[in-house]
Chains A and B, each alone.
Chain A
Amino acid sequence: MARLNVNPTRMELNNIKNKLNTARKGHKLLKDKRDELMRQFIELVRENKEVRRKVEEGIAAANEHMAVARSVMTDEALNVALMLPMQEMSLEITEKNIMSVLIPVFETKFKTADENDIYSYGYAFTSSDLDDAVKALSDNMTLMLRLAEIEKSCQLMAAEIEKTRRRVNALEHVLIPQYEETIKYIRMKLEENERATTIRLMKVKDMMLEEAHHYSERY
């Protein structure tokens, strides 16, 4: 593992020790965040699949009615019937914060007071199958919006989880080992220096004693 390119001094040692502490704390927090995000995400994905299955069934049913309506009515009559919609739907979006991921929460607004005001045509010239198709779609709409909400949330959370996972891995496998390695290196260097100093002192002491007492001449 690569160590950082630093001077082996006590100051650097302290700095890196502090950095290592911070990295460890960050790693722990991020790991917790990742785990919690993952838990919520799995729950959400399960719901997502369930809702999507229902929506797809609902749309298929509505399409069946639509197909029948199309076959019994002329294209012009159908176009005229659906040309001017009465209802208009819009959304208010608020945001919910899950582990710092902002997920959307939709609130539906209708233009007319009665949200069941969905038939934009008189009943005289249209097939009842068209009514069924429109009704089926309308019934399905709440679920479809719920699907939109959940699916978007899942996508946003997936992106966040990916990011968090990368960060956790980077800390765990790169940054922390790097700091540990560097600390070890500085420690060894410092100890080496210390030993070198001791030896030098002993040597100097020998030389000074030799000069004062001339031991080697005496024996």
Chain B
Amino acid sequence: MYKIAAMGDKDSIYGFASIGLEIFPIDEPIKAIHKIRDMVEGGYAVIFITEQLATAIESELDRYRSLPQPAIIPIPGIHGNTGLGMRNVSKSVEQAVGSDILSDA
């Protein structure tokens, strides 16, 4: 049995509480890094994280890319879309193919 969590600034993730996700209102990158490390031990399979916060701790998130769990998924917060999520997809393509052959641009 695995848990699902949402992490980021309070305003962006508050709504997720009502549909049954665990929410962690965190603003500071350092705290987020520590929390994620705890969560990896704690049986979280999916962590939705606001793009704003994710941008700040990108290198930390890269460590979890090749692990089977957790899936850390950046989502846009209330401050809008930074494009990090799509960039992450392109990153996978680049890693696999060598260059981003599927970019729309």
Contact = CB atoms under 8 A, between A and B. Distances in A.
Interface of A: 38, 41-42, 45-46, 48-49, 52, 55-56, 59-60, 62-63, 66-67, 70, 78, 82, 85-93, 95, 102, 104, 106, 109-111, 118-120, 133-134, 137-138, 141, 144-145, 147-149, 151-152, 154-159, 161-162, 165
A133 B15 contact: yes
Interface of chain A, helix or strand or loop or mixed?
A: helix
B89 interface: yes
Contacts of B18: 82, 85-87, 118-120, 134, 137-138
A56 B75 contact: yes
Given A67-B78, A85-B20, A49 B89 contact: yes
B37 interface: no
Contact of A66 (B15, B20, B75, B92): B15
Interface of B: 1-4, 11-12, 14-21, 45-46, 48, 65-66, 68-69, 71, 73, 75-78, 80-81, 85-86, 88-89, 92-93, 95-98, 102
Interface of chain B, helix or strand or loop or mixed?
A: mixed
Contacts of B76: 56, 59-60, 63
